[in-house]
């Protein structure tokens, strides 16, 4: 009797479970993205990138910076018996070294991922092309390591997605060489539809397998579901492992790394950030450990912008700003990049809603090519803190020439050719006599004297 009742319950619960899962495919994107079609330009169609290799061949290959002079190689195979092995060398098809790593996989409702391989290779020489093969078979890939010293160039794109706009952005970006790719959140726009993670990995493979991709999470990576997946980021953490352990972080959602005299910090907008949080304490320790003589530039990336004059996503980064902004200001961070708002906007140097020559320059670059379209409406009148703003898809490039000078440019990509629409030269705050804090005081008088308040 009890066995019959149990089977009866199972028959009742299974349709409910299926219905709940199907609803999640629609409800999760809406709850996190909060789309308002009244001010979004219609996007181009979604691009589906199929798997065309054998089940044992690598797919979705991408690389990222790992420990000093090392590179992490990640890829997926459908065949679970393929070894987590990378052969590599400086001559095509002649591999002088081999490294082994680990593998994992994950379930998300009825979806089961392929075998996700993770291998660190090195030590590697700077500014050197390496050829490599994953799993002992399949196609050969190659990448160029970043330089050891200046100059260095970063390509920066937020809210990438996988549409025809995404393809345009990546093609324009790839027309000119760069050393490291930075992405401040919202990668695949899978929104719990796990096969879209696979399609995204295949779409970006030609780019992400040849230059290191350093990413942080956005709201579209959260993918929580009550009771079943309360923590979120299951796919993101499994597929896009970043060097958090190497930088002393206990979470893949925030980390830092050094490259060619630049300290890059990736913060998490969707994990705890208040003054009692692990992220806050990690950030304070990380910033305190930067030697500005050896590392004259500090660049920060996060997803939800702290400063924003677009009508979209107003105030969503405010609580994080109030918690962490002073840490960045006291450390003389040079630039803060964000995404989330699907437009481009460049601000002057700011601290606490005031123009301040010792504060970071804030740039929103959430215009990579997402499926939701552009955020077209800006607040009026224009704030004097906002120096350039435009709702167009595009990408940015930060070229750091030396320890004191850098050039930022934003490239509009809705034209047949990529066009430089905004550019500016900037000086490192580490070289500014007015902003130097020799006694480690929180706010030097020279900076606060120049502060001019303005409401965004």
Catalytic residue set: 313
Distance CA 13, CA 19 (A): 10
- b or e along 322-331 (b: 16 or more beta carbons within 10 Å of the residue's beta carbon)? ebbbebbbbb
Both tokens of 92, joined, read 């095509």
Using alpha carbons, select from 238, 237, 176 the residue that is nearest to residue 211: 176
Both tokens of 177, joined, read 């060489």
Both tokens of 12, joined, read 């009742």
Distance CA 361, CA 352 (A): 12
Residues paired with 155 in a beta bridge: 181, 397
Please write down the HEC assignment for all residues of 158-200: CCCCCEHHHHHHHHHHHCCCCCEEEECCCCCCCCCCCHHHHHH
Distance CA 262, CA 399 (A): 11
């Amino acid at each position: 009797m009890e066995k019959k009742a149990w089977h009866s319950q199972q028959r009742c619960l299974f349709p409910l479970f299926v219905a709940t899962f199907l609803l999640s495919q629609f409800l999760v994107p809406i709850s996190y993205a909060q789309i308002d079609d009244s001010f979004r330009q219609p996007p181009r169609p979604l691009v589906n990138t199929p798997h065309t290799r054998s089940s044992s061949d690598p797919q979705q290959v991408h690389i990222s910076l790992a420990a000093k002079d090392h590179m992490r190689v990640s890829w997926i195979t459908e065949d679970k018996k393929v070894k987590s092995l990378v052969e590599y060398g400086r001559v095509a098809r002649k591999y002088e070294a081999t490294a082994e790593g680990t593998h994992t996989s994950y379930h998300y409702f009825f979806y089961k991922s392929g075998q996700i391989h993770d291998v660190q290779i090195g030590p590697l020489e700077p500014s050197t092309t390496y050829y490599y093969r994953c799993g002992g078979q399949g196609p050969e890939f190659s990448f160029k390591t970043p330089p050891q010293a200046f100059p260095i160039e970063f390509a920066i794109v937020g809210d990438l997605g996988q549409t025809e706009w995404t393809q345009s952005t990546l093609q324009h970006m790839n027309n000119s060489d760069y050393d490291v790719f930075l992405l401040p959140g919202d990668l695949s726009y899978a929104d719990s539809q796990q096969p879209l993670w696979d399609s995204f990995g295949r779409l970006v493979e030609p780019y992400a397998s040849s230059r290191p991709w350093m990413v942080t999470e956005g709201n579209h990576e959260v993918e929580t579901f009550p009771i079943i997946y309360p923590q979120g980021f299951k796919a993101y953490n499994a597929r896009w492992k970043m060097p958090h352990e190497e930088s002393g972080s206990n979470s893949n959602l925030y980390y830092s790394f050094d490259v060619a005299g630049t300290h890059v910090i990736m913060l998490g907008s969707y994990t705890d950030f208040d003054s009692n949080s692990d992220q806050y304490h990690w950030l304070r320790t990380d910033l305190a450990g930067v030697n500005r003589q050896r590392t004259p530039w500090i660049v920060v990336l996060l997803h939800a912008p702290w400063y924003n004059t677009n009508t979209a996503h107003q105030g969503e980064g405010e609580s994080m700003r109030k918690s962490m902004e002073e840490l960045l200001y006291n450390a003389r961070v040079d630039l803060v990049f964000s995404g989330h708002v699907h437009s481009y906007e460049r601000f002057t140097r700011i601290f606490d809603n005031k123009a301040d020559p010792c504060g970071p320059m804030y740039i929103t670059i959430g215009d990579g090519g997402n499926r939701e379209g552009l955020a077209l409406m800006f607040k009026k009148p224009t704030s004097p803190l906002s120096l350039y703003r435009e709702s167009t898809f595009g990408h940015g490039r930060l070229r750091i020439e030396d320890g004191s000078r850098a050039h930022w440019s934003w490239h509009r990509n809705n034209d047949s050719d990529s066009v430089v629409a905004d550019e500016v030269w900037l000086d490192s705050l580490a070289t500014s006599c007015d902003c130097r804090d020799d006694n480690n005081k929180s706010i030097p008088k020279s900076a606060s004297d120049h502060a001019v308040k303005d409401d965004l």
